[in-house]
Structure 1
Amino acid sequence: MPIVFSRVEERLIHGQVSTAWAQAINFDTFVVVDNDSAKNEMLKDLLEMACPRGKKLCVFDENDAIEQINNISRKMFIIAKSPITFLNLIKNGVKITNLNIGSIHFKPGKKEIFKTVYVSEEELDALREITDMGIVCEIQKLPTESKKNILDLI
Structure 2
Amino acid sequence: MIENLLLFRIDERMTHGQVMISYMKKYPAKNIVCIDDATAKDPFVTSIIKMSAPSGVTIDVVNVKKGAEVLKTGLKSPTIVLAKTPLTVKKLREEGAAVDEFIIGGIADASNRKRFYKSIFISQEEADAVKQMISEGVSIDVQIVVSDKRIPASTLLK
Normalised by the shorter chain, which TM-score bucket? over 0.9
1:22–1:52 Cα contact (<8 Å) kept: no
Q: What is the TM-score with the length of structure 2 in the denominator?
A: 0.91
Moved over 6 A (4+): none
Unaligned runs of 5+ in 1: none
Q: How large is the RMSD of aligned CA atoms in angstroms?
A: 1.3
| Farther-moved stretch of structure 1 (93-102 vs 76-85) | 93-102
**Structure 2 matches for 1:23-42, cutoff 5 A?**
23-42=25-44
Residue number in structure 2 paired with 1:46: 48
| Farther-moved stretch of structure 1 (8-17 vs 85-94) | 85-94
Residue number in structure 1 paired with 2:66: 64
Among candidates 66, 88, 91, match of residue 88 of structure 1: 91
Cα distance per residue 1:78-134 (max 9 Å; x no partner): 101000000111222212232111011111121101111111110001101111121
Give identity over the alignment, percent: 23
| Farther-moved stretch of structure 1 (2-11 vs 88-97) | 88-97
- The question of 1:98 aligning with 2:90 is answered no
| Farther-moved stretch of structure 1 (119-128 vs 92-101) | 92-101
2:103–2:141 Cα contact (<8 Å) kept: yes
CA distance in 2, matches of 1:4, 1:54: 16
CA distance in 1, matches of 2:47, 2:80: 18
2:100–2:138 Cα contact (<8 Å) kept: yes
- The question of 1:112 aligning with 2:119 is answered no
Task: For residue 118 of structure 1, give the secondary structure of its aligned residue in structure 2.
Answer: strand
Cα distance per residue 1:39-66 (max 9 Å; x no partner): 2221111111222221111110111211
| Farther-moved stretch of structure 1 (111-120 vs 90-99) | 90-99
- The question of 1:133 aligning with 2:136 is answered yes
- The question of 1:143 aligning with 2:146 is answered yes
| Farther-moved stretch of structure 1 (14-23 vs 26-35) | 26-35
Paired residue type of 2:117 = F
Unaligned runs of 5+ in 2: none
Paired residue type of 1:133 = E
Q: What is the TM-score with the length of structure 1 in the denominator?
A: 0.93
Residue number in structure 2 paired with 1:18: 20
CA distance in 2, matches of 1:70, 1:56: 19
Paired residue type of 1:126 = A
Paired residue type of 2:98 = K
